[in-house]
Amino acid sequence: MSSDLPAPGRCVVVGVLNVTPDSFSDGGRYVDMAAALAHAHEMWARGADIIDVGGESTRPGAARVDPETEIARVLPVIRALSADGLRLSVDTTRAVVAEAALDAGARIINDVSGGLADPGMAKVAAGAGAPWVLMHWRGHSKDMNSLANYQDVVAEVRAELSARVDAALSAGVAAEHIVIDPGLGFAKRAEHDWALLHHLDSLVELGFPVLVGASRKRFLGRLLSGADDAPRPPSGREDATVAISTLAAAAGAWGVRVHSVGASLDAVAVVAAWQRGHE
């Protein structure tokens, strides 16, 4: 496994840092540079293995921003955090943003499009020798809900992710630099998300590290709907997120991507001790 992909002896915990005004859970909270840096250091001090910095919202229905805006949002934060020694990934679908972020000190590319949004991303990942998270994706946020059509979601996601892996390998990306992500909530309805989690072993069997990003997502809000059938808001989905982290770790996930790292870190530490039978 790549030296830039941590292997702490338990499921890796990736802390989300959205420097955006419109992300679904924490949009606007970390647009201010000081707030962004403070939150990243808080997650790092708590034990996060990677801080994932994103400058464009990928919530359902979100409008795109131009590359210059995305770069202006993420680069100052990445430079400052890299100088402080934090391990960073950049959450972007654009090759130009990924290249600038790697030059600024990011070490991992987290591409929710799996390389489909920008054909140049494979060249950047291969040229930099950077680990590349390939997420299952069928289209941009504005249109993705209409693309949630499957006959067998587990088989189709596995096949489509395998195709993205093959394309990355053909472009010169090293096998040890590839991570796969089922893309929960991206062109998927709740029943698709639950099926993918139930059959997570189908993706683990592909032999690449699997990253699970369920934190505070819509399918959890729907599960936890109140008596009025209104989905529970993102702020009330943290306990459910920790449950997903626990079960994902037990099912063999390499990592979980979460907004609040503390409880998920405790959860995956418990899973690792349970599996070992000792501390």
| Residue whose tokens read 């679908």 | 93
Give me the pLDDT at residue 26, please.
Answer: 53
Alpha carbons within 13 angstroms on the beta-carbon side of residue 68 total 0
Give catalytic status of residue 10 as yes or no: no
The single residue of 217, 232, 237, 276 carrying the catalytic annotation is 217
Give catalytic status of residue 142 as yes or no: no
Give me the pLDDT at residue 58, please.
Answer: 76
Cα–Cα dist 49/44, whole Å: 7
Domain residue spans of the chain: 12-276
pLDDT (tens digit per residue) in 17-49: 999 875 545 555 667 889 999 999 999 999 999
**Cβ-based burial of 233 (10 A; exposed 0-12, middle 13-18, buried ≥19):** exposed
**Cβ-based burial of 125 (10 A; exposed 0-12, middle 13-18, buried ≥19):** buried
Cβ proximity of 184 and 212 under 8 Å:
yes
CA 46 to chain centre: 19
pTM: 0.94
Cα–Cα dist 171/173, whole Å: 6
Q: In the predicted model, what is the mean pLDDT of the chain?
A: 94
Give me the pLDDT at residue 142, please.
Answer: 76
The pLDDT-based confidence of 277 (bands split at 50, 70, 90) is: very high
CATH number at 12-276? 3.20.20.20
pLDDT (tens digit per residue) in 94-136: 999 999 999 999 999 999 999 999 999 999 999 999 999 999 9
